[in-house]
Structure 1
């Protein structure tokens, strides 16, 4: 998609109209309500040939820098009443991370956004979807997601790493400290982790050390 003098945020396919051409008879037609990754099948109205269409990803091209004329037009337009949330302010650009790596206040260890097929929009979780849409439509389970580290859109996967950057989109349970990002329960830590007995009463003390402490007392 071509963009000039504007900053694309996202493409809501369900609200877009596409012009398609039948390769058998060159008949043009309009198509609506497409979603990412879904295989759409229809028939040509002219030759009745079977048409199949699928959209796996979208890329914006063009100059997104505002010109003087664009700024004048923007200044003349009425300002929106509602403030933009983090989903509206962030530009989805592959290779760059999402705000807070995609985590939200409801799921702080989930580093991805989900594209919901009911509205075609992106939200960090089902709770965020319900809050932002205010129950305007029935929610359908998301079938696609965007990596919080590289913004690569892909099919939903529960536990597989991102196909773009290889990062884990959910924080897995671990028995190691990992700089404070891993396990913090000393009783569940791996015995080879140096933090398991750090500042702990269970830490073993050499007999010579005990004798020195007793002598000092």
Structure 2
């Protein structure tokens, strides 16, 4: 039961699986009116969009807004673990850290949000046509198929902290202030920036480094292709 003082939607009891994302566009919500205590159904809810509804019985106005969804893994209490074995001491087991692809605010996305199509894009995009989040438009098209109605993404998820926010091309994240796309630069920046000497800034020492070196005749023949 959700209201203005409780933001917990529900609990999942999962075995050999995990929750990754909640697609709001495919959910149907039961709304209880505070005026007449009657229940009505609502669907078509999207992240970040304020939805105004009116009660079908008393015509009272209701407002629904959901910015994001966070999945939290509940840890079992020590009292429950030691129930029935008060006098036994269990040695701690080696637990292998499993890579969790779930979208959890405060943690980075899998691989920082990059995909095989865009190696310098650190974000996921949420598309209003299906309500799902994908690393890029090409991943969206590959997963949903050619017959799917494609629409431009209206929201994005930061690859550094999983903060969901309205789509912006070159603005930093509103949560962690990190940029979600690689900004073009004209400097070497330790090998992570510009590597082309033509486009590199003349104020960078790497632009003219090594230009005074002599080239052997064998190396010149390889460059020109002549013997």
Q: Is contact 1:3-1:64 (8 Å) kept?
A: no
Higher relative contact order (CA 8 A, sep 6+): 1
1:123 aligned partner: 134
Alignment equivalent of 2:173, drawn from 137, 154, 162: 162
Among residues 47, 52, 61, which one is paired with 1:50 in the alignment?
61
The answer to whether the Cα contact below 8 Å between 2:158 and 2:180 also exists between their aligned partners in 1 is yes
Q: How far apart are the structure 2 equivalents of 1:2 and 1:49?
A: 26
Where do 5+ consecutive residues of structure 1 fail to align?
66-88, 203-217
Alignment RMSD: 2.1
How many angstroms apart in 1 are the aligned matches of 2:75 and 2:12?
5
1:178 — aligned with what? Answer: 189
Q: Residue in 1 aligned with 2:52? A: 41
- 2:153 and 2:167 in contact (8 A); partners too: yes
Alignment of 1:66-77 (within 5 A): none
Normalised to the residue count of structure 1, the TM-score between the two structures is 0.76
Query: Residues 118-143 of structure 1, C-alpha deviation per residue, up to 9 Å, x if partnerless?
Result: 11101111111110011242011111
8 Å CA contact 1:4–1:64 kept in 2: the answer is no
Stretch deviating more after TM superposition (111-120 or 132-141)? 132-141
**Offset of 1:61 from its aligned partner?**
4.0
Q: How many angstroms apart in 2 are the aligned matches of 1:62 and 1:98?
A: 17
1:20 maps to 31
Higher helix share: 1
Distance in 1 separating the partners of 2:195 and 2:39: 61
Q: 113, 126, 131: which one pairs with 2:124?
A: 113
1:2 aligns with 2:10: yes
Contact 1:102 1:111 in 2 (8 A): yes
Q: Distance in 1 between matches of 2:169 and 2:10?
A: 34
Give the CA deviation at 1:179: 1.8
**Taking structure 1 as reference, are residues 62 and 20 closer, same or farther at Cα in structure 2, changes over 3 Å only?**
farther
Shift of 1:63: 2.0
Deviates more, 1:157-166 or 1:37-46: 37-46
Distance 1:62 1:45 in 2: 37
Gap runs ≥5 in structure 2? 1-8, 77-99, 214-227
| Pair 5,23 (structure 1): closer, same or farther in 2 beyond 3 Å | closer
TM norm structure 2: 0.72
Q: 1:194 Cα deviation (Å)?
A: 2.1
Separation in structure 2 between the aligned mates of residue 64 and residue 142 of structure 1, nearest angstrom: 35
**Local SS of the residue matching 1:195:** helix
**39-48 vs 157-166, which moves further:** 39-48
User: Contact conserved, 1:3 with 1:60, CA < 8 A, in 2?
Assistant: no
